[in-house]
């Protein structure tokens, strides 16, 4: 990590140095009208001095003035300080001209090539040039600083969203672990007294689910086949607790095309069906169907609804159902369609999720 940051910082410094070399050469050191004369060294010293002033103004504006004033909406003070910088650079440029006697030295150099160019180097012309160059450098500095600030804020927001998604996934895992696994273990224990072979299969399914929850979901994505296998194992283990009055229909693709998918994305919708679609006395039906068409995966969950009338998907908290809706919005913006139908006449609750991977 430290080495990577060092390389990134070194690369940024190198790029900025190259930009300054090119910009300085074009603006200050490339002088076509001086090509055929012997330019006194004092002129290049003065140009180097101006170049240093521009570099200082650039970074002072980018790292001090923009963050402290412009980004904090103190625009009046900011533009006053920019004007002060421009005036200071113009003044120091004029001072350097007088200190090095640039005008007379250049007129003498031109005199050797022909008649003296009267009026060359008057401060009015140089002031206009200096004001233009300084304003250009400060404008570039302001643009770069504001864009970098915007990018930094965007990256920070994305990191916060990623952290929130990670915490939501941890919340899902924390909620599924205690109740579901302990209840399932009790059911498997009772099953060992009746059917040892079935109990072995159930233990294998439970261990596979625990491995998926504890280890395979540590990354931001899992394989689609793992997610579907987890749903299948979950349904199989939930059926151990159901009576004959509950009918469960589950179908999934026989042959899958692997795609990365956010882990534990389908579970809350299936868990919600078992939580609110099962009655101890009345017949009930739960249907879960997963289909795939190239990179598009569809989840269909339908169950008889024994919740209170008028409840909707947002009210069914289940195992992080509201968090899963939020995860969909964050992870698959514009790539998912979630349709919910709570039919009060037929007392059937239906969820259709279409996901483009």
| Domains of the chain and any CATH numbers | 14-157 (no CATH), 195-356 (3.30.565.10)
Q: What is residue 320's three-state secondary structure?
A: coil
CB 212 within 8 A of CB 226: yes
Bridge-partner residues for 250, per DSSP? Answer: 288
pLDDT tens for the chain, 357 residues: list them. Answer: 455 555 555 556 676 777 777 666 666 655 545 555 666 777 778 878 888 888 888 889 888 988 888 888 888 898 999 999 999 988 888 888 888 777 777 666 555 555 444 444 444 445 787 888 888 888 888 888 888 888 888 877 777 776 666 666 566 555 554 556 776 777 787 777 777 888 888 888 888 888 887 777 777 788 999 999 989 988 888 887 777 888 899 999 888 889 999 888 888 888 888 888 887 778 889 999 999 998 899 999 999 887 654 444 444 444 456 777 877 887 888 899 999 888 888 888 999 999 998
CB 221 within 8 A of CB 169: no
Chain-centre distance for alpha carbon 142: 24
Q: Which pLDDT score is estimated for 119? A: 45
Closest-CA residue to 229 (of 258, 187, 200)? 258
Q: What is residue 45's three-state secondary structure?
A: helix
CB 45 within 8 A of CB 100: yes
How far apart CA 20 and CA 10 sit, in angstroms, is 15
């Amino acid at each position: 990590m430290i080495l990577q940051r060092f390389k990134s910082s070194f690369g940024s410094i190198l790029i900025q140095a190259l930009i300054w070399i090119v910009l300085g050469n074009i603006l200050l050191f490339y002088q076509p009208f001086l090509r055929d004369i012997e330019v006194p060294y004092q002129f290049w010293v003065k140009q180097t001095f101006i170049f240093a002033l521009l570099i200082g103004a650039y970074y002072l504006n980018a790292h001090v003035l923009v963050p402290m004033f412009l980004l904090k909406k103190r625009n009046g003070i900011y533009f006053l300080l920019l004007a002060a910088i421009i005036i200071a650079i113009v003044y120091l440029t004029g001072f350097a001209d007088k200190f090095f006697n640039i005008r007379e030295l250049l007129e003498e150099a031109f005199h050797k090539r022909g008649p003296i160019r009267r009026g060359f180097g008057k401060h009015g012309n140089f002031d206009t040039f200096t004001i233009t160059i300084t304003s250009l450098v400060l404008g570039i500095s302001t643009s770069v600083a504001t864009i970098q600030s915007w990018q930094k804020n965007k990256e920070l927001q994305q990191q916060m969203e990623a952290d929130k998604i990670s915490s939501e996934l941890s919340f899902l895992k924390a909620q599924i672990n205690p109740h579901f696994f302990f209840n399932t273990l009790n059911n498997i224990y009772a099953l060992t007294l009746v059917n040892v072979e079935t109990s072995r299969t159930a233990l294998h399914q439970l261990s596979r689910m625990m491995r998926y929850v504890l280890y395979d979901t540590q990354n931001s994505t899992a394989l689609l086949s793992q997610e579907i296998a987890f749903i299948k194992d979950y349904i199989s283990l939930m059926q151990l607790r159901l009576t004959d009055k509950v009918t469960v229909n589950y179908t999934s693709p026989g042959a899958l095309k692997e795609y990365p998918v956010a882990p534990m994305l389908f579970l809350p919708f299936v868990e919600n069906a078992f939580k609110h679609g099962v009655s101890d006395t009345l017949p009930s039906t739960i249907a879960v169907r997963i289909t795939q068409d190239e990179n598009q995966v569809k989840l269909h969950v339908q169950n008889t609804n024994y919740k209170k009338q008028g409840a909707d998907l947002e009210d069914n908290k289940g195992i992080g159902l509201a968090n899963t809706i939020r995860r969909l919005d964050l992870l698959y913006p514009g790539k998912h369609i979630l349709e919910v139908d709570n039919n009060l006449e037929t007392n059937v609750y239906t969820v259709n999720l279409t996901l483009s991977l």
